[in-house]
Amino acid sequence: MKTSMIFRFGLSGCLARLGGSMACSLLLALALSGCGGGGGTTTASLTSAVPPGVPTSFTVARTQSQTLSATLNWEPPADGSAPVSYEIYRSTTAGTAYSADNHVISIPAVAGQASYSFIDDAGLSAVDTYWVVSARNVAGEAPTAEVSYKPVGPASGGESSFGNNLSSPLVFADGIGLAGAAISGSWTDVLASVDYNTGLRPISGILPSSLTTLPYLDSADTYALGGATYYKQGTSSTWQAQWSNGSGTLQHVAATWGDNLTSQSLTSNSTIRVEVALAETVPSPMTAYTMQSLYGTQVNEVQGTDGTTYTTTTAAVFAANAHLTVQKLDASGVPVYTLYDQTLWQGDGPGYFAAEVTVSGAVTYGFVWPMKSVTLPAGISKDGTWRITLSLDSTSPKGTANNTEIDSATNGVLDSASQTHIDVNIVG
């Protein structure tokens, strides 16, 4: 007798892939049919000398009732040894998906499983995207051909992606929101009274018209992990941690530069991710949402909340007067060339300085430095020491006077109450 059922469950201990730890607990939608035989049902052997064949019937399609999401379906290989795992790859450039840099996640193969379905919604955008799934065991890996799909964005024009929700408290030092608008209201969970000038989610028009209060936790976007149900960042689920307008009081902050600037090897072909966050201790506890890393790593990481809140006296600070400079130093440590010199709101995308909400729900200053595509004048080499400086101008692009002082710097150097820097070494 043939049976068929659809279910969701959490898998932990995902296989390591290409030397990187995929410490994850994966939500899968697994479609079982023909239980007990057929379609690659032998138990995978870790000592097999024969690699698996290519997964069959691989398709990518829209996830039902979800935007900026894709559902991948495939069946086990028809030949070769049984796979130990399936590896998912994704890229927005045709012909490049099957690469270690584009690895998304490793999915353990299940003996007797006749078909698989994986929902990919880790930071997708409404652009042409290319996927590959490969079958893998200790003897080798067999990839499918690329399958393309363009994820569908929010209805009614909306933003190109849902964006991340604020999960950690935030102080607007100058009464100016992330997008440059003046804040007029105060934090509230009453949707009709939300101040959209903060630049935070919710974005007008993406929530159900019947909704009156936050949070909105969409049951279609759940993820089961450790017996708990989580609601993922970057989906229709919407929540907002507490924020305040701090323009009436001088903000004393600690600056923290991103660990990747000191822990990773940076080369002349790197795309360098610059992050620096400002934070302070606030006098009264503020409401935050509990966040959990669900699956994926680095750019593919997905985090979410189970909806529980807590209070904390630590808050991020957004200062509209922030200014970023990137300079090349000579052998004596003296700046000889300025590559970037930017205030906020000069542009959008790689090469532009901005404030953003991370996958963990915290606000940081972010900058993508595409070193590979940089053209320098004669006599200036990409190799060597570069200085990245965050300073606070006396007047912001919005005309506000500086209201923030930096008291300390982590991973970098504190130059003054209005400046911190970090030096990075580019090789190769």
Within this chain, do residues 101 and 175 fall inside the same structural domain, yes or no? Answer: no
Say if 185 falls within a structural domain: no
Within this chain, do residues 16 and 134 fall inside the same structural domain, yes or no? Answer: yes
pTM: 0.70
pLDDT of 165 > 90? The answer is yes
Residue-level length of the chain: 428
Within this chain, do residues 298 and 262 fall inside the same structural domain, yes or no? Answer: yes
Say if 369 falls within a structural domain: yes
Q: Which of 16, 19, 39 is nearest to 108 (CA)?
A: 16
Say if 29 falls within a structural domain: yes
Tell me, rounded to whole angstroms, the distance of Cα 224 from its chain centroid.
20
Tokens representing 111 are 């003996």
3-state DSSP call for residue 252? Answer: strand
CATH of the domain at 73: 2.60.40.10
Find out whether 237 and 221 touch, Cβ atoms under 8 Å: yes
Contacts of 331 (CB under 8 A, 6+ apart): none
Within this chain, do residues 133 and 279 fall inside the same structural domain, yes or no? Answer: no
Number of neighbours of residue 368 by Cβ within 10 angstroms: 14
Q: Which residue range(s) make up the domain with 143?
A: 4-149
**Position with higher pLDDT, 42 vs 126:** 126
Within this chain, do residues 174 and 141 fall inside the same structural domain, yes or no? Answer: no
Tokens representing 261 are 């600037």
Within this chain, do residues 344 and 291 fall inside the same structural domain, yes or no? Answer: yes
**Burial (CB count within 10 angstroms: exposed 0-12, middle 13-18, buried 19+), residue 111:** exposed
Tokens representing 330 are 């000579």
Q: What is the mean pLDDT of the chain?
A: 85
Say if 297 falls within a structural domain: yes
Find out whether 112 and 36 touch, Cβ atoms under 8 Å: yes
Integer Cα distance of 293 and 291 in angstroms: 7
**Position with higher pLDDT, 15 vs 105:** 105
Within this chain, do residues 131 and 275 fall inside the same structural domain, yes or no? Answer: no
Say if 13 falls within a structural domain: yes
Within this chain, do residues 80 and 174 fall inside the same structural domain, yes or no? Answer: no
Lowest mean pLDDT among 45-49, 204-208, 420-424: 45-49
In this structure, what DSSP letter does residue 198 have?
A: G
Q: Compute CA distances 228 → 87, 215, 412, whole Å.
A: 26, 18, 38
Q: Which of 356, 359, 424, 349 is nearest to 389 (CA)?
A: 424
Integer Cα distance of 251 and 318 in angstroms: 10
pLDDT at residue 221, as a whole number: 77
Within this chain, do residues 145 and 261 fall inside the same structural domain, yes or no? Answer: no
413-416/251-257 β-pairing: unpaired
Say if 229 falls within a structural domain: no
Tokens representing 332 are 């004596």
Contacts of 71 (CB under 8 A, 6+ apart): 29, 60, 61, 62, 63, 64, 117, 118, 119, 120
Integer Cα distance of 191 and 203 in angstroms: 11
Say if 318 falls within a structural domain: yes
b vs e for 20-41, b when ≥16 Cβ sit within 10 Å of the residue's Cβ? eebebbbbbebbbeeeeeebbb
Say if 78 falls within a structural domain: yes
Within this chain, do residues 385 and 418 fall inside the same structural domain, yes or no? Answer: yes
pLDDT at residue 126, as a whole number: 84
Find out whether 369 and 326 touch, Cβ atoms under 8 Å: yes
pLDDT of 34 > 60? The answer is no
Q: Which of 200, 197, 287, 192 is nearest to 242 (CA)?
A: 287
Q: How many domains in the chain?
A: 2
278-296 tens-digit pLDDT: 999 999 999 999 999 988 7
401-427 tens-digit pLDDT: 999 999 999 999 999 999 999 999 999
Q: Which of 153, 261, 140, 138 is nearest to 203 (CA)?
A: 153
pLDDT at residue 154, as a whole number: 62
Find out whether 120 and 167 touch, Cβ atoms under 8 Å: no
pLDDT of 428 > 80? The answer is no
Where residue 44 falls among pLDDT bands split at 50, 70, 90?
Answer: very low
Find out whether 119 and 105 touch, Cβ atoms under 8 Å: no
Within this chain, do residues 115 and 176 fall inside the same structural domain, yes or no? Answer: no
pLDDT of 12 > 70? The answer is no
C-alpha neighbours within 13 Å on the C-beta side of residue 11: 18
Within this chain, do residues 138 and 174 fall inside the same structural domain, yes or no? Answer: no
Lowest mean pLDDT among 129-143, 194-208, 330-344: 194-208
